[in-house]
A = this chain, B = another copy of it.
Amino acid sequence: MAGGSGTRFWPKSRQALPKQFLNILGDKSMLQMTMTRLLPLTGKQNITIVGNKEHASLLAQQVKGIADARLVLEPVGRNTAACIATVAFLIAREDPEGILVILPADHWITDLKGFTETLAQAARAAEETGGIVTIGIPPTFPATGYGYIRADTAPGAAKVEAFVEKPDLETAKGYLASGNYFWNSGIFVCRASAMLSEIEAHLPGLYVSLKALSDCETEEAATAFIDRVYPSLPAVSIDFGVMEKTDRAYLVKAGFGWSDVGSWDALYALSEGDTRGNVTKGPVLLEDCSGCFMDSGGRLLAGVGLKDIIVVDTRDAVLVAPRGRSQDVRDIVQRLRDGKREDVL
């Protein structure tokens, strides 16, 4: 799933260049890192990327040389349920019992071996249970920015007891202490047929709208169908539309490190700083600064006497915010939209 708009990484992420296409955590983009990470499990042939039609050439360019991925281009974004249903129908044409590993293209993951093993375990659980297996992340701090999943803590696949909304800090502390709550990674593993039958049960309108995809005999026909039907689809998340309702949800605990890298703050936390906790990219000169994140787009960035400040410099826009406030970058993006500053969006 590579259709996100990633406004929280403004000014580096733009409408034309969302987070999944940015090299914010290394030499490769988040999308390229995600594909590379899957290769041991899927091989080069079995990757399907759903993205926005607007990013078609960017997608093609970033995929090249990494995988022979199929691209599914959405004419408009319609949240994750439509995206997942579309791919499930496309895969089911070829192999209804084929295992789907559904995951966002812009997450950060450590420990490739643990990742591969966890997904293999989830695939076995998906085959054995015939349900939808989520990957639950054992929480390491009382995060208030993630949704949680309550499930049994026994080893192996556990029945999901409940999906719960992003909690406040007190509630999150309780979740962390209980050991029965896991962060919702947005990664799902299931048979194509299982996903389709759950969508049929819980989002019947979406199911009916997309069902004719099964009958498209050529890629061209499928593309034309998607272009035609997509604008009318409901924009619903798979969590809200299916996972919170189905009684066939299972959870496998992640054996790897994970972050959704949802903000400049999260990126700072994942980056290695100098002895004073400063993370810098490009030409940066700091005098008596600590805990800062300074990302230069080429210009010299000079900081004096700063504590815990984020500066992101690009060709046409500069963001300055204290650490802890980078979620509010969305407000800036909204005001730019309202102000018709398309040039910097």
Contact = CB atoms under 8 A, between A and B. Distances in A.
A302 interface: yes
Interface stretch (A49-57, A94-102, A305-313): A305-313
A300 B285 contact: no
A11 interface: yes
A328 interface: yes
A245 interface: no
Given A302-B11, A318-B300, A321-B304, A287 B344 contact: no
Interface string A298-327: 011111111001010101111111101110
A81 interface: no
A118 B335 CA distance: 50
A341 interface: yes
A342 interface: no
A258 B332 CA distance: 38
Interface in A10-46: 10-11
A138 B225 CA distance: 81
Contacts of A326: 304
A203 interface: no
Nearest to A301: B318
A272 interface: no
Contacts of A321: 303-306
Contacts of A68: none
B325 A304 contact: yes
A329 interface: yes
Contacts of A344: 300
A300 B322 contact: no
Contacts of A331: 287, 304
Contacts of A316: 299-300
A217 interface: no
Contact of A302 (B288, B301, B320): B320
A265 to B, nearest CB: 12
B287 A335 contact: yes
A316 B285 CA distance: 13
A224 interface: no
A328 B317 CA distance: 25
A326 B306 CA distance: 11
A312 to B, nearest CB: 9
Contact of A319 (B10, B288, B304, B328): B304
9 contacts: A10-B302, A285-B332, A296-B318, A301-B317, A301-B320, A305-B321, A305-B325, A309-B309, A318-B318
Q: Nearest 7 pairs between A and B by C-beta?
A: A305-B325, A304-B321, A300-B317, A304-B328, A302-B332, A302-B319, A303-B320
